[in-house]
Amino acid sequence: MDIQSPYLMFLGDVHDQLAAKTATGVVHWRRGDCIGQVRFENCGADLGLEDMDIAAGKAAGARTLVIGAVNPGGVLPDHWVAAIVEALEAGMDVASGLHTRLTSNETVAATAKRLGRRLFDVRHADGTFPTGKGTKRTGKRLLTVGTDCSVGKMYTSLAIAAELRARGVAADFRATGQTGILIEGTGVSVDAVVSDFISGATEGLSPDNDPDHWDIVEGQGSLFHPSFAGVTIGLIHGSQPDALVMCHEPTRKKMRNVEHPIPDIRKCIEAHVEAARLTNPDVRCIGVAVNTSALDDVGATDCLKSIEQETGLPTVDPVRTGVARLVDALP
């Protein structure tokens, strides 16, 4: 996918800010590329952007209408279709993070085809991918992994990529989920790739590069999560990482949506490193990124110190402390 900015962010009539979490992430990391928001009456979310209608967004230079809202089931509400068609007719492409494909709506699909506009269903991986080969590639790669899903792997990856670029180091964030794709404008939603081809898709996402170039690959799931370990292992083998960063949420007692307990962090690090040695024998975990948002300042500080003592690795909260110490530890 190659999604063109600037973006006009579409929220429709979502009930609250949480329902706009995809759009919120895009605006946080791509604020300069988000020129306005489209909100219907009674919309309960606000991105802090100028409110615009479709015509005003196009006049301001928007190239893509981004549906950054989520709802139960990820469906496309019928009353959103007119605004999407209007954006296509105004000359914009449309990108969506919903489960329902834009291309499955006959009106939207027919309009896009007639006008030659592009539809991006970022939760769905279109095209074909080869199987992974495990052949050594040039360049350097870091993969974020986790003790669980939804522990901050995307945020950590983006923060590391930004810190490297701020230091003048060539680095790219490689998106593997829908929000990351909308932030970066390109990527592969690997959870929609047939399992045999996840490693191959990831190899294509982070191909040969200059010797000092870093690809920062967004991780998914956890080897210890019974639902998502299959996606994780494909990413580990395909990214062929030189470095891993373990991401963790310290207040959880069990993994999301299952009854399995959160694994011991040292055991989790060892398992991910061992799995990664299949395609890069020299891989090592260079640090831990902890999401301490559920803790107060004192609790967060104590938590970071405790995990650092336990693991012997630089331990940060990417939001509270930044990721400079992780970048300092890169090989």
Provide the pairing of β-strand 284-290 with 243-248: parallel
Select the highest-mean-pLDDT range: 12-16, 19-23, 162-166, 183-187.
162-166
Is 80 exceeded by the pLDDT of residue 73?
no
Q: Is the dihedral of CA 288, 327, 5, 127 positive or negative?
A: negative
102-151 residue pLDDT tens: 999 999 999 999 999 999 999 887 778 999 999 999 999 999 999 999 89
Whole-structure pTM value: 0.88
**What pLDDT does residue 128 have?**
86
Identify the CATH assignment for 7-121 out of 3.40.50.2000, 3.40.1190.20, 3.40.50.720, 3.50.50.60.
3.40.50.720
Confidence of residue 72 (pLDDT cuts 50, 70, 90): low
* pLDDT given for residue 256 in this prediction: 87
Q: Is the pLDDT score of 95 beyond 70?
A: yes
Pick the CATH number of 140-328 from 3.40.50.300, 3.40.50.2000, 3.30.460.20, 3.40.50.970: 3.40.50.300
Q: What is the pLDDT of residues 33-57, one digit of tens each?
A: 999 999 999 999 999 999 999 999 9
pLDDT tens for residues 221-243? 999 999 999 999 999 999 999 99
3-state SS record for the chain: CECCCCEEEEEECCCCHHHHHHHHHHHHHCHHHEEEEEECCCCCCCCCCCECCHHHHHHCCCCEEEECCCCHHHCCCHHHHHHHHHHHHCCCEEEECCCCCHHHCHHHHHHHHHHCCCEEECCCCCCCCCCCCCCCCCCEEEEEEECCCCCCHHHHHHHHHHHHHHCCCCEEEECCCHHHHHHHCECCCHHHCCHHHHHHHHHHHCCCCCCCCEEEECCCCCCCCCCCHHHHHHHHHHHCCCEEEEEECCCCCECCCCCCECCCHHHHHHHHHHHHCCCCCCCEEEEEEECCCCCCHHHHHHHHHHHHHHHCCCEECCCCCCCHHHHHCCC
Would you state the pLDDT for residue 180?
A: 93
Q: Tell me the average pLDDT across 168-185.
A: 94
Question: Do the first three CATH levels of 7-121 and 140-328 match, i.e. the same topology?
Answer: yes
Least confident of 72-76, 88-92, 118-122, 197-201: 72-76
pLDDT tier, 97 (very low <50, low <70, confident <90, very high otherwise): confident
Instruction: Indicate the domain borders of the chain.
Output: 7-121, 140-328
Average pLDDT over residues 68-79: 84
What number is the average pLDDT over the span 201-206? 97
* pLDDT-wise least confident of 66-75, 106-115, 304-313: 66-75
Q: Residue 298's beta-bridge partner residues?
A: none
Neighbour-count burial of 256, counting CB atoms closer than 10 A to its CB (0-12 exposed, 13-18 middle, 19+ buried) = middle
CB proximity list for 326: less than 8 A, separation 6 or greater: 160, 163, 245, 286, 287, 289, 314, 316
Question: How many percent of the chain have pLDDT more than 70?
Answer: 99
